[in-house]
Amino acid sequence: MNDAMITIFPDKPVLIAGPTASGKSALALKIAQAQGGVIVNADALQVFDGWRILTARPDDADLAAAQHALYGHIPYDAAYSAGHWLRDVAPFLAGSRRPIIVGGTGLNFNALTQGLADIPPTPKAIREAGDQRDLAALIADLDADTTSRIDLQNRMRVQRAWEVLQATGQSLAAWQDATPPALLARQDAVCITLDAPKDWLDRRIASRFDQMLAQGALDEARAMLPYWDPALQSSKAIGAPELIQHLQGSFTLDQARDAAIIASRQYAKRQRTWFRARHRDWHHIAADSPDIFATLRFANHAAD
C-alpha cells in the first residue's frame, strides 16, 4: 500500500526491506537518530565477518551514530540460515530498545512475520551430494508445490529445498505448511519496502561498487584469498568471486568490476520480484524520491 505519510511509533518495531543499494541503511539510521532504537541486520550476508566492504556493512561513522546488531558476528566459514537468524533476532523483539530491522533478504522477513518451519539440519553427506548436482537436476527432483514457492534461479534456495526432501522425506512446501506462529505479527510492526526503479538503481549499483573499490574492496579480497572457498555461504557476497578471480589472474580488474555490477543488478531484479509478490500489504516508499524521509511522521507517543 502506498501512503502519503507513514507514522513511526517509538515503541513499535520497524521493518525496512528493499533491493540492494536502495538506501535501506540510511533510512534505518534516520529513524534511529530521530526516535531511538537499535538497528538490527536482516541481510543474509552482512552477518559474516571477512567481507565488510563488499557486503556494505555499516562503517565506523554509522556504528558511532546508532546502536547496531547482528552485523559481522558469524565466522566467514560458518553456515547460517534463516532459522539461525530468527533465534538471533528474537531477543531484540523482547528487549528494552525498539528494533529497526533492515535488510534485503526477503526470506528473513518472511520467516519473521509469517513463521518458519523447524526443519532438522541437513546431514553433511546430503549437502555434498547436492553440491555435485546441477541446477536443472535439483529442480527436476522437486515437487510442483515447492517449485511454485521458490526462486528457481537461486541455486542456494533450490538446493536447500532438494536437501530438505532428501533428508526428511517431506517436501519443503509440506514443512512450510506446518509452520509455527510468527515471532512478530505483521500488524505489530511498521513494515516499509523501498521501491527502486530499475534505471535509477542500476546507476546506484555501479556507483556503489566503484565506491567499494575506492574504499579498499580489493585489499579486502586479497586478505581473504588464502581462505577462499567458493562453497562457503559468505563467498556468495557479490563482488567476492569476481575480485578473487582477478587476484587469481582470470579477470582484469575492469572485467571483475563489470561482472560484479552485472551480478548485483541481477540480484536486485530478483529482490524486486520477491518484494512485489510478497510485500503488497507493506508501506511502500519510492527510493528515488528527492526526500524519502519526508514520508515519515514520528509520533511522540506509544502505538495504541
pLDDT in tens, 176-222: 888 888 999 999 999 999 999 999 999 999 999 999 999 999 999 99
pTM beyond 0.75: yes
pLDDT digits (tens, 9 = 90+) for 121-165: 899 999 999 999 999 999 999 999 999 999 999 898 999 999 999
pLDDT above 60 (res 1): no
For 14, the domain range is: 6-115+186-298
With b for 16 or more beta-carbon neighbours within 10 A and e for fewer, the 130-153 pattern comes to beeeeeeebbeebeeebbeebeee
My answer on whether 24 and 146 are in the same domain is no
| Cell numbers describing residue 158 | 533450490
Say whether both 225 and 260 belong to one domain: yes
- The overall longest dimension of the chain from CA atoms, in Å, is 60
Residues 217 and 74 in one domain: yes
Residues 107 and 76 in one domain: yes
> Is the model's pLDDT at 304 over the cut of 80?
no
Task: Please state the domain count of the chain.
Answer: 2
Same domain, 206 and 288: yes
pLDDT in tens, 16-41: 999 999 999 999 999 999 999 999 99
Q: Which residue has the higher pLDDT, 191 or 117?
A: 191
Is 1 within a domain? Answer: no
Distance CA(235)–CA(241), nearest Å, equals 7
Same domain, 29 and 160: no
